[in-house]
Structure 1
C-alpha cells in the first residue's frame, strides 16, 4: 500500500492543525501586508507608486536583452507574453490573505485614526472594487471595521461609498449580508457601541430592517441583554425587523430575559399593529410562551449546598413574563410544539413550580393536556424527578382526574415513580387515595410488578429506595398483574451472574476490610491507653486504672470491648466473604453479617470517644465535656436512615390506609429500632446485667435477620428472648 508520502501535496492548500485551508490564487505581498497593518500611509504610497513605475522598465529591459540574443521574429512574442510579476498597483492589491482579506480588509480591521483612514482612501483610489469585496466569511471591509469598533475608518468607507454612488450606493454596502446573514449593524450591536449604532442608522435609516428573515439587529441586542441598544434601534426606526433565527422573533428572545423586555416588545408590537408575533411559532412550532416556560434552567436548583441554593434562589415573581404572555394570548397555552409538548410540559420538565401553578390558574384546562407520548405535566415532572411539582399536584384535589391517566405505553404516574426510584416522589403519590395501585400498563405490569423488576440481583444495598418502594406497595396491598408468576420471573426478574457477583463481592470485602481492621486497631490501642492513666506501682492497687470504678469508666471499657470484638468479627466475616472458593451464598451471608458487625463497632468506638473525653474533662470543664458528648451523639443519625425511612413510609401508609397500619407494622418497626440501638444498651446498662446483654448482642442479630427477611418464618421477636434465656 502506498504511503501518504508517495502522493504529492496539493500546492494550493496548507494543513493547519488538521484543517486544510485553500491557498489564495494571489497571496498578498509581505511589504503590502506590513504597511496595511501598521497604517503606514507613506510606505504604502511608495509601494504602490513604485509598482506602477516598474512595469514599463521591466518590459523594455527584457526586449533589449532578447534582441541581442535571439532572432527578431521572437521579439513580438516576448513583448506580448504576460509576465508573472505584477504589472500595476491593481495587480498588487489583488493579493489576499488565507482568510480572503484584501489590503482594505486588513486596514479596516487593524486600526483606527488618521493614518488608517488615509491608507483606506489610498487603497480605494487605486482599486475601487475592494470596497465591495468579500473575504471567505462574506465580510466587506465595513464589516471588519465595525467588528473592531473602528469608527473613523468605518465613517470614511461610508463616505467613499456615497461619493461613488450617493445614498443608494452607501445603502447597498451597509445592508450587504455576510456569511452569517448579518449587516454591519450587527457587529456594532455586539460591541454595544451606541455612537456607532447611531452613525450607522443615520447613514441608512432602514438598516435595522435587514435581514427580513434571519437574526435581526433587534433580536441580537435582546439576546445580548443590551437594553439601551434595543431602545435606540426602535427609536431610530419603529418599523425595524423583529425576526430571529430558526423562525423565531424578538418576543422569543425577550421571553427569556424577563418581564421588562417582554412587556416592551408586546407594547411595541401592539402599537405598530404587529400582533402576529405574539402567537408566532418558530421552526420547532415553539411560541414565546414555550421559551418563557423554559427560562431559568435547573443549574441553580441543583447547587451543591443549601446555602448556595438559598443565596441564589430567584423570587417567584420572575414568572410575571408568563403572566404577560398569557394575558396577551391565552390560547398560546394550548398550542403544542412539534413534539406535542405544551408550555405546561416545558415548565414541568424544568421544575418551574411557579410557572406550572400560574398556567393552571390562568388556564385550568391545561392540566389534562398530553404530549405526543401521551404524558401529562405530572408524568413529565416525575420523569425529571421534580418532587415539588408532584407534591403540588397530589395535594390539590383539582388534579385528581389526571393522577391515573395513562400515557401511550399505559404507564400511570405511579408506574413512572416506581421506574424513577425516588422515594419522596413515590410517597407523594402513595399517600393520595385517588391514586390507583393496581392499574396495569400495556405490558400487563402493575406498579408492584415494575417495582419487583427494578430490584437488582446479587450484591446491593438492601435498604435502598427501591426496596422501600416495594415494601410500601406490599404493605398497601398492591396487586400483581395477571401473568403467571413463573413467566413473569423469567421475563422481568433480573438473573444472578455469580461470576460477576463474585468479583464484586471480593472487591467490596477488600474495601470494607480496611475499615474493620482500622477500627480494631483503634479499639485495641484505646483499651490500654485509657483516660486518666494508671496508679503508680508503689501505691496500693498499683498498675490499675486511676478512674476505675466510676460509671463512665465502666461504660468506656465496655464500649472499647464491643468495638474491638465487633470489628474482629467483621474482619473474620470479610475474610470468608472475599474467598472465591467459598460458595457464593455463604459468602453473601458472611458479607451481610460483616456489615452489621461494622456498624456496631463504629457506633461503639464513637461512644468510647465521647466517654473518654468526658472522663478527662468532666472534673475541670463539665460544660465542654457535655458539649462533646452531644456533638458525638449526632453521629447516631448515621446509618439510621432505614429507621427514619420505615417510619416515614409507615406514616405515608397511615395517610392512605388509616391509623391501624401502625399496629400492623409494629412488629416490623420495633425490632429494627432495637437492632439499630442495641449496642448502646450493652454499653450503658448496669454491669450486673452485662452477661445477658452480651448474649443478646451476639445471638439476637442473627435470629433477628432471619425473622425480618424470611417471610415464611412466623417466629415473633418476643419468642427470641425466651429462647435466649
Structure 2
C-alpha cells in the first residue's frame, strides 16, 4: 500500500503536531498487522480492523517508508514517533537497498541516527537480535553500510556517534572489500581517520578494518595523501610492512607520489630498515622507486637507512642509477655524478652487462650521456654501445669511437642476395619520399630566389644569392643522395650536407624577403610598415628552426667532448686527415659545424634586422 498524501506532506515538512493527530486517528499498528484503536490514550479491546491506505506501513513509489522520509530530512522527533508506533520499519529496505540508518547517515543527522540505533537495541533486547544486527550491517546496492555513507559524505557527527554506539560497524567492508577506514584515507579526510582509529573509553583499540582495493590497506591510501592522515596510526603499525597485490608497501606509494613528509614519518619508526629493503613484484626497492620518480631528497633519506644501497638490485640486476637513466631522470643522474660516494655505481653492470652509460645510449638520452661522459671515471665499452640515438652517435664519433660503431653495422650492399623485409621496404619508401619532398622544397627556394634577382635589384642581392646557391647545391646533393648507383657512404654524406644547406637557404630567403620589402618601401611614410616586416620576419628566423636552440641543450655534451677529447673532439679531427676532402667531411660532422654555424648565421641575420629596425625608427629616410 502507499502512503497517504496528507501523511506524506506531514513527513516532508516535519509537522510533528499534525503527525500526532494522524496517528491518533489511524490507530496503532500491531504485530499481527491489524490496528488497535486508541481512545483517550488507552487501547480498547475493539475488534481488529484491516489496515487502511495512508497508515505508517505504506511506502512511496521507490519503496520509502515513513521512517525513511523522516530520517532523510533529519526530523528526529518525527522519526521517534514513527519508530515508537512501527518499530519494525527500522529494518526495511527501499529500492536502492538503503535502510533508514543509511538515510540518516547521508543526511548527517546525529539525532535521527541515535534514535534508530536505540530502536535496534530495543529490538535486540526483545529477542530480535539477529534482525537488529543485520539492519546495522546492511549494505545498499553500492555495497556500502551506513558508516561508509557517512564517511564518504564527510558526516563527522554521524561517524562519531557510530564509533561511540556501534564501533563494530568499522569492521564491515563493502562488496569489493573496502573498509570505512580505507575510504576515509582515500578521500583525504584526516578527521574521519582519527575518529575511526580512536580507541574506546575503556582503552580498547578500535576494531576498524584496514582492508582496501587491490590488496592495499588504508595505510597505502593514506601514504599518498598527507602526513596528517598517516600520523593517526599507532607507531610501529604492522601495516607499514604489508604489501598490496603488486608487492608494494605504503612506503613505495608515498615515494611514487612524492610525499617527503610521509616518507620521513615512515622511516622514523624502528621498522625503517625493514621497509627500505622490501621489494615489489618486479624486484624494485624503495630506492629504485625514488630514482624513477626523480625524488632526490627522498633518495638521500633512503640511503641513510641503507648503507648497502649498492647491493640493492632489481630482478634484472639494475641498481637505482640504472633506473634513473632508463626513466630519463637527469636530476638524479646529476646528483649521483656530483657525489663521489656513488662512484661505484657509475660502472656497475646489470645481468646483461649494461652499465648506466649503455642504457643512456640505447634509450637515446643525450643529456644523460653527456653527464656520464663528463665523469672521466666512467668507462666506455665500445662493444656495448649499439644502435644509439643520432645525437648520441655523433657524440661518440666526436670522442673518436664512432668508426668502431659503423664497422659493427652490416652494410646492406654486401648482402645483395638477401631479400629485403617488409620493414626495410617501408623504411626505404619513406626515405625516398623524404628525399623527394626535400628536393621539391629546395627547387622552390631556388626558383623564387632566381626570379627575385631580376625584379628588385639592390642591397638584398647578397642574401638572395646565398639562398639561390644553397638551395641549388642542396638540390644536387639530394639528387645524388637518392641515386642508388652511388656508394651508400657517399649517399649518406650527400643527405647530411643537404640537410645542413636547406635551413641555411630558407634563412637567406627570409632575409632577402625582408631586405626586398625595405627597398620597395624606402619612402619615410612607410616606416611603421618596414618595422613590421622586419619584426615578423625575425620570428620564423628564431623559432621555426629547432637547431637554433639545440646548442644551448648540448652544452653538457660539448663539455664532455672537451674533457675527454679536447679541441680535436670539437672539430672531429682525431687523426691526421687522409686528404682535404676527408678533412672537410670530418669538420662537417663536428659539433662546431653542426650546432654553431647555423646558430651564428641566425644571430647575424637577426642582428641585421634589429639594426635595420633601429635605423628605420631613428632615421625616417634610411
- Return the TM-score normalized by structure 2: 0.67
Deviations 1:578-608 (A, max 9, x none): 99x9999799888666544422321202332
1:218 aligns with 2:186: no
**Which residue of 2 is the match for residue 258 of structure 1?**
226
Deviates more, 1:252-261 or 1:466-475: 466-475
Q: Does 2:568 match 1:606?
A: no
Change beyond 3 A, Cα 1:289–1:477: farther
Superposition deviation, residue 376 in structure 1: 0.9
Contact in 2 for aligned 1:214/1:244 (Cα 8 Å): yes
- Are residues 1:471 and 2:390 paired? no
Structure 1 distance, partners of 2:514, 2:474, is: 23
Question: Could you tell me how far apart the structure 1 residues matched to 2:523 and 2:70 are?
Answer: 78
Distance 2:402 2:444 in 1: 43
Residue in structure 2 matching 1:279, options 238, 241, 253: 241
Alignment of 1:331-370 (within 5 A): 331=273, 332-370=275-313
Q: Deviation of residue 187 (structure 1)? A: 1.0
Q: Which of the numbers 376, 380, 388 marks the counterpart of 1:437?
A: 380
Question: Within 5 Å, which residues of 2 pair with 1:138-149?
Answer: 139-147=98-106, 149=108
Distance across 2 between alignment mates of 1:30 and 1:511: 78
Measured after TM superposition, the shift of residue 109 of structure 1 is 11
- 1:261-294 deviation digits (Å, cap 9, x = unpaired): 33x23xx513xxx643343444544322222211
State which of 198, 211, 218 in structure 2 corresponds to 1:244.
211
* Corresponding residue number in structure 2 for 1:195: 157
Mapping of residues 7-406 of structure 1, within 5 Å: 102-104=63-65, 107=68, 111-112=72-73, 114=75, 128=88, 131-132=90-91, 139-147=98-106, 149=108, 154-166=113-125, 173-176=135-138, 182-205=144-167, 207-208=169-170, 210=172, 215-234=178-197, 237=200, 239-240=205-206, 241=208, 243-245=210-212, 246-262=214-230, 264-265=231-232, 269-270=234-235, 275-296=237-258, 319-328=260-269, 329-331=271-273, 332-406=275-349
Q: 1:131 to 1:575 in 2, by over 3 A?
A: farther
Change (3 A) 1:192 1:289: same
Following superposition of structure 1 onto structure 2, how do residues 681-692 of structure 1 map, counting pairs within 5 Å? none
For 2:292 and 2:544, how far apart are their aligned partners in 1?
Answer: 37
Distance between the aligned counterparts of 1:671 and 1:470, measured in 2?
12
| Structure 2 residue matching 1:219: 3-state secondary structure | helix
Deviation string, structure 1 residues 493-534 (Cα, Å, up to 9, x no partner): x9796642453245435654675576467646755675xxxx
Residue 377 to residue 604, structure 1, CA distance change in 2 (3 Å)? same
Residues 171 and 204 of structure 1 are in contact (CA less than 8 Å); yes or no, is this contact kept in structure 2? no
C-alpha distance in 2 between matches for 1:210 and 1:512 = 69
CA deviation after TM superposition for structure 1 residue 377, in Å:
0.8
Query: Closer, same or farther in 2 for the Cα pair 1:677/1:376, shift >3 Å?
Result: closer
Contact 1:438–1:478 at 8 Å: present in 2 too?
A: no
Deviations 1:649-697 (A, max 9, x none): 453133345666457638534775568749999xx99xxxxxxxxxxxx
Q: Is the 8 A contact 2:109 2:157 kept in 1?
A: no
Q: State the Cα distance separating 1:142 from its structure 2 match.
A: 2.4
Pair 594,218 (structure 1): closer, same or farther in 2 beyond 3 Å: same
TM-score normalised by L of structure 1: 0.59
C-alpha contact 2:181 2:218 (8 A) present in aligned 1: yes
CA distance change for structure 1 residues 221 and 679 in 2, over 3 Å: closer, same or farther?
closer
Using CA pairs under 8 Å that are at least 6 residues apart, name the structure with larger relative contact order, 1 or 2: 2
Pair 1:656–1:516, CA change in 2 (3 A): closer
Give the corresponding residue for 2:561.
653
Change (3 A) 1:203 1:176: same
Using a 3 Å threshold, how does the CA distance of structure 1 residues 105 and 387 change in structure 2: closer, same or farther? farther
Tell me, yes or no, if the aligned pair for 1:93 and 1:103 is still in contact at 8 Å. no
* 1:428 matched residue in structure 2: 371
Q: Which structure 1 residue ranges, 5 or more long, are not aligned?
A: 1-28, 53-85, 297-317, 440-445, 456-463, 531-544, 686-725
8 Å CA contact 1:519, 1:602 repeated in 2: yes
3-state SS of the aligned residue for 1:244? Answer: coil
Q: How far apart, CA to CA, are the structure 1 residues paired with 2:135 and 2:141?
A: 15
Residue 93 to residue 560, structure 1, CA distance change in 2 (3 Å):
farther
Deviation at 1:471, TM superposition (A): 2.6
Match in the other structure for 2:573: 665
CA distance in 1, matches of 2:598, 2:281: 60
Structure 1 pair 671/347, CA: closer, same or farther in 2 (3 Å)? closer
| 1:319–1:617 CA distance, 2 compared to 1 (3 A) | farther
